[in-house]
A = this chain, B = another copy of it.
Amino acid sequence: MATEAPSERTRVHRLPERGDYDRATIDQILDEALICHVAWVTDDGEPRLIPTIHVRVDDTLYFHGSRASRTLQALRAGTEVCVATTIVDGLVLARSSFHHSMNYRSAIAFGTAREVTDHDEQLLVARALADHVAPGRAADARPPTDEELRQTLMLAIGLDEASSKIRTGPPKDDEEDLGLPIWAGILPLAITPGTPIPAPELDGGVPVPDYIRTYGRPGAPE
Binding site for B on A (CB under 8 A): 9, 13-14, 34-35, 37, 39-41, 45-51, 53, 65-66, 68-71, 80-84, 86, 88, 90-91, 93-98, 100, 102, 104, 106, 108, 110, 126-127, 129-130, 133-134, 137-138, 140-145, 148, 151-152, 170-171, 173, 177-203, 205-209, 212, 215
Give me the 8 closest cross-chain CB pairs, A-B, nearest first. Answer: A188-B194, A39-B39, A51-B86, A184-B199, A39-B49, A98-B148, A37-B37, A185-B198
Q: Are A181 and B206 in contact (CB-based, < 8 A)?
A: yes
Q: Are B206 and A183 in contact (CB-based, < 8 A)?
A: yes
Q: Are B53 and A98 in contact (CB-based, < 8 A)?
A: no
A-B contact pairs, 29 of them (CB 8 A): A14-B70, A37-B37, A39-B48, A41-B47, A45-B45, A47-B47, A47-B80, A49-B84, A49-B108, A51-B86, A51-B104, A91-B133, A93-B141, A94-B199, A97-B148, A98-B144, A142-B180, A170-B199, A170-B200, A183-B202, A183-B209, A183-B212, A184-B202, A186-B199, A187-B193, A188-B193, A189-B191, A189-B194, A191-B191
